[in-house]
Amino acid sequence: MDLIPQPRRTRTEGGTFELGAGTRLEVGRGAEPTARWLRGVLGPATGLDFPAGAGGERGSTVRLTVDPALGREAYRLTVGPDTLRLTGGDAAGVFWAAQTLRQLMDPAAFRRAPVRRDRTWTVPVCDIEDRPRFHWRGFMLDVARHFMPKDGVLRHLDLMAAHKLNVLHLHLTDDQGWRPEITRYPRLTEVGAWRHRTKVGLRESPLWDERPHGGYYTQDDLREIVAYAEDRHITVVPEIDIPGHSQAAIAAYPELGNADVVDTAALPVLPHWGVNPNVLAPAEATLRFYENVLAELLDIFPGTFFHIGGDECPKEQWRASPAAQARIAELGVADEDALQSALIRHFDRWLADRGRRLIGWDEILEGGLAEGAAVSSWQGYAGGIAAARAGHDVVMCPQGQVYLDWRQADGPDEPVPIAHVRTLEDVYRFEPVPAELTAAEAEHVIGTQANVWTEVLDSPRAVDYAVYPRLVALAEVAWSHLPAPAERDWSGFEARMRAHYARLDALGVEYRPPGGPLPWQRRPGVLGRPLDGPPPIV
């Protein structure tokens, strides 16, 4: 059946169920949204209407119901010759069952219009029981370095849903761009959403794209993204990165920066990449500003978690700034690390008072982690292990395993020769729960996600290439109950992938083909130097 992610238990019995003009949808309470979604995708793909009601004499029935006994996000899919049952433990479970149903059909079920109108649609008679390993199965998309227009984000939500991923972490702000409209501070997008030019490639690359780049989401765009995600049982976790990675905000409002040590009024939205010394001033006024920013966003993003970044905040300016030093004295904290920690704690309490939870990159552990805060462990496993041992929830996303901007092969043909090679198989053998943790500590690993940073991914096509197919492997790691990495059935996965590529093709995903990039996907000579290994290709 070539299902991805691999369900927990599948049984096939021979024979088929046929979907035809007479096929009806019988919808139980709580399953209505999935019925709407199914009609919305299978209708256009097949040309069938799926009228409501029980199947008549000659028609088959697809029955959607909720049975809480199955548990959160779990489902059972039972296909007989005349009746196809999708039963979810909750509304999400019904939805994941519908995703499996779509994979049980011909890959043409993933198209938006029928290629042939005279064909029949069948589903193998089978019985599937399934439930996820983790409830946080995520994908982080960096829309700050290169803007992804709203339609592209909606498309990624569809692709995530097809792989049973349920958390979209949107990296909304960085040195190179501010993407969410904030009505109280219009310059954040009037100024902060645009840069005059862009470094092509990393670090030593001498190349620049001299065209302006940018874009932003209006608050209604963001509401639409959230609603679209919700319809797909995906939670959107917004990230506003503080106190580092904030130069776009400083370019818009220079008073946010350390104006006593640098001429912050002269700072542009950053046109190049890397860890940047121009960080936020640790002042009361900065806290108020960001509280106001967050307040507008809490209204738009209803999820429990709010990501406040916290990564890569160099402390030189705080060391040099009399104002920052005065702040350290005033708060009675030991040093600059403790000052960052105090800042994070402030927002932890602020969010907790509003019924939310803070999540940040693992640097928020430095100088003591605020109670209740959760950690995205990106610098390897160590941060996640320390956090879990201290009783904090962790989302495992170590860069060496699941950074999808890292190159997929060696050699001159790879369009983004950055960092180290991470293949589809490497991602498939990624284990989110480190062996060092006790069973109780491991409970704190609430899930995993893959992250895609877009410094060198300057178009939705380039993002597709980096993300797919590797995100498919991550989805299986996050959903399926796989054995230890060494025992994973890689060749079985590869075999299922062969069928899955046909689905991705039907969806229009421009993944990296297993045989290497297509001619248009190769961009040798324009991108940056790998962190180690071969010399620069510039």
Would you please indicate which residues are annotated as catalytic (active-site) residues? 174, 245, 312
Q: How far is the CB of 385 from ligand TNX (least distance, A)?
A: 17
3-class secondary structure, 404: coil
Binder among 110, 217, 306, 361 for ligand TNX (CB under 6 A): 361
Q: How far is the CB of 401 from ligand TNX (least distance, A)?
A: 13
Residues from 396 through 425 that contact ligand TNX (CB under 6 A): 403, 405
Best CA proximity match to 244, nearest among 222, 212, 266, 275: 275
Handedness of CA 517, 522, 527, 532 (dihedral sign): positive
- DSSP-assigned letters across all residues of 275-323: --S--B--SHHHHHHHHHHHHHHHTT--SSEEEEE------HHHHH-HH
Q: Is residue 2 a contact residue for ligand TNX (CB under 6 A)?
A: no
Question: What letters, b where the CB count within 10 A reaches 16 and e where it falls short, cover 418-456?
Answer: bbeebebebbbbbbbbbeebeeebeebbbbbbbbbbbbb
Best CA proximity match to 450, nearest among 465, 426, 422, 470: 470
Q: How far is the CB of 207 from ligand TNX (least distance, A)?
A: 18
Residues from 294 through 353 that contact ligand TNX (CB under 6 A): 311-312
- DSSP-assigned letters across all residues of 225-269: HHHHHHHTT-EEEEEEEESSS-HHHHHH-GGGB-TTTS-GGGPPS
Phi, psi of 470 (to 5 degrees): -65, -30
Cα distance between residue 67 and residue 525, in whole Å:
56
- Of the pair 31, 364, the CB lying nearest ligand TNX is at 364
DSSP β-ladder status, 167-171 and 136-142: parallel
Q: How far is the CB of 228 from ligand TNX (least distance, A)?
A: 26
- Of the pair 203, 346, the CB lying nearest ligand TNX is at 203
Q: How far is the CB of 312 from ligand TNX (least distance, A)?
A: 5
- Of the pair 103, 376, the CB lying nearest ligand TNX is at 376
CA 78 and chain centroid, separation: 31
Decide: 162 and 99 in contact? Cβ < 8 Å: yes
Site string for ligand TNX, 443-462 (x = CB under 6 A): ----------x-x-------
- Of the pair 97, 404, the CB lying nearest ligand TNX is at 404
Residues from 367 through 396 that contact ligand TNX (CB under 6 A): 378
Residue with tokens 């300057």: 458
Q: Dump strand ranges (E) for 31-103.
A: 61-66, 75-79, 83-88
Q: How far is the CB of 450 from ligand TNX (least distance, A)?
A: 12
3-state helix, strand and coil shares in percent for the chain, rounded to the nearest 5: 35, 20, 45
- Of the pair 183, 459, the CB lying nearest ligand TNX is at 459
Kindly determine how many residues on this chain lie close enough to bind ligand TNX according to the rule CB under 6 A.
8
Cα distance between residue 307 and residue 320, in whole Å:
28
Q: How far is the CB of 532 from ligand TNX (least distance, A)?
A: 14
- Of the pair 179, 500, the CB lying nearest ligand TNX is at 179
Cα distance between residue 436 and residue 430, in whole Å:
15
- Of the pair 166, 176, the CB lying nearest ligand TNX is at 176
Q: Is residue 106 a contact residue for ligand TNX (CB under 6 A)?
A: no
What is the binding site for ligand TNX (CB under 6 A)?
Answer: 311-312, 361, 378, 403, 405, 453, 455
